[in-house]
Structure 1
């Protein structure tokens, strides 16, 4: 379909806008977010940091990228995975402190 006004500055007919592309780190953020949720919180932290940077780039130029929701999903998975893993570490520390306290109080008799 051709435009009656000729081609636009990027070769498309006027009225269609620029071609949007996927942000190059979008898939990485999602994969790291999933791995951070399932495997270890190091990936979650990476997804959180890279996702923040990628979202800032997407928000700075919203017409250039089309995968903001993918980046947001990976970032949120990274945040949730990091917080859940951190809560697990805190609970394990509390558990071991209680066990050591109980064993120390029983051995003093």
Structure 2
């Protein structure tokens, strides 16, 4: 009878820069900040939204450049998307304000020039 060598489980392939299986990834600096800015920019104050957009994009670029060594992609991406949506709301609000001011000025100028 021939004895076989014990089989050891193979290690999964790890691309360069990624943490081995079982080790938690370090979260990228600014991922949570982008998420919080995105939430605040969407819900509370739309003037914060462009900062969330820029911060989220920067953190996503940092995570992509780390080749998987950094985590927090979900938080950064959520802040990035909420920043875009909040910025759209900001632009629409500014445009609505401009249209409202033009309407009010037009109504005031037309009512003051009318004769009875």
For the 8 Å contact 1:19–1:64, the answer to whether it is kept is: no
- Count matched residues: 97
Structure 1 residue 85 displacement after superposition: 1.7
Q: Quote the RMSD (CA, aligned, Å).
A: 2.0
Structure 2: runs of 5 or more not aligned: 1-7, 10-19
The answer to whether residue 69 in structure 2 is matched with residue 64 in structure 1 is yes
Normalised by the size of structure 2, how large is the TM-score?
Answer: 0.75
For the 8 Å contact 1:48–1:79, the answer to whether it is kept is: yes
Runs of 4 or more above 6 Å deviation: none
Where is the helix percentage greater, Structure 1 or Structure 2?
1
2:105 maps to 100
SS at structure 2 position matched to 1:24: coil
The answer to whether residue 60 in structure 2 is matched with residue 52 in structure 1 is no
Which structure: larger Rg? 2
CA distance in 1, matches of 2:52, 2:86: 10
1:85 maps to 90
| Residues 9-63 of structure 1: per-residue CA shift (max 9 Å, x gap) | xxxxxx6376411112111000000111112223211111111111111111131
SS at structure 2 position matched to 1:63: coil
| Residues 51-79 of structure 1: per-residue CA shift (max 9 Å, x gap) | 11111111111311221111000111011
For the 8 Å contact 1:47–1:74, the answer to whether it is kept is: yes
Normalised by the size of structure 1, how large is the TM-score?
Answer: 0.79
For the 8 Å contact 2:47–2:90, the answer to whether it is kept is: no
Structure 1: runs of 5 or more not aligned: 5-14
